[in-house]
Each structure stands twice: as structure tokens, then as C-alpha cells.
């Protein structure tokens, strides 16, 4: 039984960061006519009620999407993301938050496909119900790392693999790296987005070293810290590694991350950076 439930965290700063970048990756894929395939290995429930008692418990969205929602100075690069959040809310009031499945689905054309993988039975049921009538979306109760072996390479030979683990088990950085290597071995031309929490320096250096040692090129690293130290139950920041980013993604991502930092940072703390962990 998995203890992690994303409803407790929906719309937090990490969601804003990952989903704003995810929207840009999807836009990049949709620029070419050729069909694409998307795989979300840790999909969650796809749609979150911020009024639910779980979401209200720590109200993480208040230091995430709530800080962005009413801003009038959003850079153009944030528009695809904020439009996706607006689409979940009938009026201008923020009541619901989209998960990665709904965000990805929004950018697909009639010939694109999406596979959503979720290991928690209850969350899988909710997610399956949300996409029950959608023939372009396949929802599976499966280990996301197994899905990398089972579903790659896609027949389209183009696509995005989003690995967004809840990091609620020990050794997750190793599992993430090994899973990525497995996927990349089968589908080297795919775009990969790997989300991770910022942990202690030794863990972070180990992860970067292992990723660099895979021999895979074109790994863009994006990080956002919202405070200098982690507090109980919450990390100080998070990052995303994007492998084979689409053309123009880097420039958009730099603007997004630079804009988000002062908006989401607590008391001017934290930091942000975008750099090539491994260049071309």
C-alpha cells in the first residue's frame, strides 16, 4: 500500500514548477505535425479539489499556485500553464488544480497518444474514471518503472516520458536513474523529464554523477529552491532534468524558472538555476 497521496500536495510550489515546464515541453512536441506519444509513469489522479480536507490540511497550494494565480505580470512563457489551470476552474476563483495527465492531454492533437501509469489502486480508479471515454488515453495500474520497459519504444518514435516519482522510498534516486537508463536504451530519441526533490549535498552530487556517467548527452538541469533549508515534511526545493529538450525549450524554461523564484521563494531565500548537466 502506498502512503503518498498527491491530493495533500496538489498545487504546491513543486507542482507549479514542474507543470509550467511540462506545458512548454508539450508545446514543443506539438510544433511538428508528426504524431507523438506521452508516458506519465507516476500519474496521480489527474485532477484535484483544493477544497477537499486533504488538500486543506497543510494547504500547500497557498505557497504554490495561489501565489501565481492572480499575478498580472505573468511572462508569456507561463501562459500555456496558467491557461491549463484556468480551464479547470469555471470562474476566476481557484477551486481545482490539474495534474500532469490533464495538462499533457490539453496539448495533444487528434492523432497523439497518452499512457498514464499509477500504482496506487484508489488513485488509479479515480484516474481511470476521469479518462474513461477518451480513446487517446490509456490508464494502467502498474509500477511506473516497469512501464518504461513495457511501453517503450512507442510506434510513433517521437514523444515525452515524464517520470515524477513521489520519492517516498529509500534509494529513489538510484531507481530513477536506472529506470531512465532502461527507457533511454529502448527509446534514445525521446524527450525525458525527470522530477526530483532537492536533498542533502551528498545525495544531489551522487545523482548528478550517476546521470552524467550514463553517457547520455543533452541533459538540461533546472532547479528552484524556495528556502535555504528544508522544514519538517517539506523539501527546500526541487529540480527537473530534461533530456533531449525540444528546440526553444531552454530559452522558455530559463524565463519561467527566473520568474518563479522571487514569486515562490520564502523571505527572499532559495535560488534558481538552469544549466547543461551534460551538453550535446
For residue 90, the minimal CB distance to ligand SAM (Å) is 20
CA atoms within 13 A on the CB side of 273: 7
Helices (H) and strands (E) counted in the chain, each on its own, are: 10, 10
Residue nearest ligand SAM, Cβ-based: 99
b/e map 188-200, b = 16+ CB within 10 Å: eebbbbbbbbbbe
Compute CA distances 276 → 202, 213, 243, 254, 280, whole Å: 20, 14, 10, 12, 9
For residue 154, the minimal CB distance to ligand SAM (Å) is 18
Q: Return the range that interacts with ligand SAM (CB under 6 A); candidates 39-47, 202-210, 248-256, 263-271.
A: 39-47
Q: Return the range that interacts with ligand SAM (CB under 6 A); candidates 36-44, 77-85, 148-156, 183-191.
A: 36-44
For residue 127, the minimal CB distance to ligand SAM (Å) is 9
Residue span 61-80 as binding mask against ligand SAM, x where in contact by CB under 6 A, dash where not: --------------------
Ramachandran bin of 157, using left for φ above 0, alpha for ψ from -120 to 50, beta for the remaining angles: left
User: In this structure, are residues 162 and 104 in contact, taking their beta carbons and an 8 Å threshold?
Assistant: yes
- 94 secondary structure, DSSP code: -
Residue span 99-118 as binding mask against ligand SAM, x where in contact by CB under 6 A, dash where not: xx----------------xx
The active-site residue, picked from 164, 168, 178, 200, is 164
Known catalytic membership, residue 200 = no
Q: Which is nearer to ligand SAM, 69 or 278 (CB)?
A: 69
Binders in 115-174 for ligand SAM, by CB under 6 A: 117-120, 123, 143-145, 164, 166
Q: Which is nearer to ligand SAM, 11 or 154 (CB)?
A: 11
Q: Report H helices in the chain.
A: 13-29, 53-58, 65-69, 79-86, 100-106, 121-130, 144-151, 172-186, 201-212, 249-264
> Beta partners for 274?
222
Q: Give Cα 63 to chain centroid, integer Å.
A: 18
For residue 73, the minimal CB distance to ligand SAM (Å) is 25
Give the active site residues. Answer: 164
- Interface with ligand SAM by CB under 6 A: which residues? 2, 4, 6, 40-44, 99-100, 117-120, 123, 143-145, 164, 166
Amino acid at each position: 500500500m502506498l502512503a503518498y497521496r498527491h491530493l495533500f500536495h496538489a498545487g504546491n510550489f513543486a507542482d507549479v514548477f514542474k507543470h509550467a515546464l511540462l506545458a512548454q515541453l508539450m508545446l514543443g512536441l506539438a510544433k511538428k505535425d508528426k504524431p507523438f506519444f506521452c508516458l506519465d509513469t507516476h500519474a496521480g489522479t489527474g485532477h484535484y479539489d483544493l477544497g477537499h480536507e486533504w488538500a486543506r490540511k497543510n494547504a500547500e497550494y497557498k505557497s504554490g499556485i495561489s501565489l501565481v494565480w492572480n499575478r498580472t505580470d505573468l511572462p508569456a512563457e507561463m501562459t500555456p500553464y496558467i491557461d491549463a489551470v484556468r480551464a479547470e476552474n469555471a470562474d476566476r476563483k481557484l477551486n481545482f488544480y490539474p495534474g500532469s495527465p490533464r495538462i499533457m492531454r490539453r496539448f495533444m492533437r487528434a492523432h497523439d497518444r497518452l499512457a498514464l501509469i499509477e500504482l496506487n489502486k484508489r488513485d488509479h480508479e479515480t484516474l481511470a474514471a476521469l479518462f474513461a471515454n477518451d480513446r487517446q488515453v490509456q490508464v494502467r495500474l502498474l509500477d511506473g518503472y516497469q512501464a518504461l520497459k513495457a511501453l517503450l519504444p512507442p510506434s510513433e518514435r517521437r514523444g515525452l516520458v515524464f517520470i515524477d516519482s513521489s520519492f517516498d522510498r529509500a534509494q529513489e534516486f538510484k531507481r530513477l536513474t536506472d529506470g531512465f537508463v532502461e527507457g533511454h536504451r529502448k527509446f534514445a530519441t525521446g524527450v525525458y523529464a525527470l522530477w526530483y526533490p532537492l536533498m542533502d549535498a551528498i545525495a544531489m552530487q551522487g545523482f548528478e554523477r550517476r546521470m552524467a556517467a550514463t553517457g547520455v548527452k543533452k541533459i538540461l538541469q533546472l532547479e528552484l529552491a524556495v528556502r535555504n533549508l528544508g522544514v519538517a515534511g517539506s523539501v527546500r526545493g526541487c529540480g527537473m532534468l530534461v533530456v533531449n529538450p525540444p528546440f526553444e525549450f531552454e530559452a522558455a524554461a530559463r524565463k519561467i524558472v527566473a520568474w518563479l523564484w522571487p514569486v515562490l521563494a520564502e523571505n527572499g531565500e532559495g535560488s534558481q538555476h538552469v544549466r547543461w548537466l551534460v551538453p550535446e
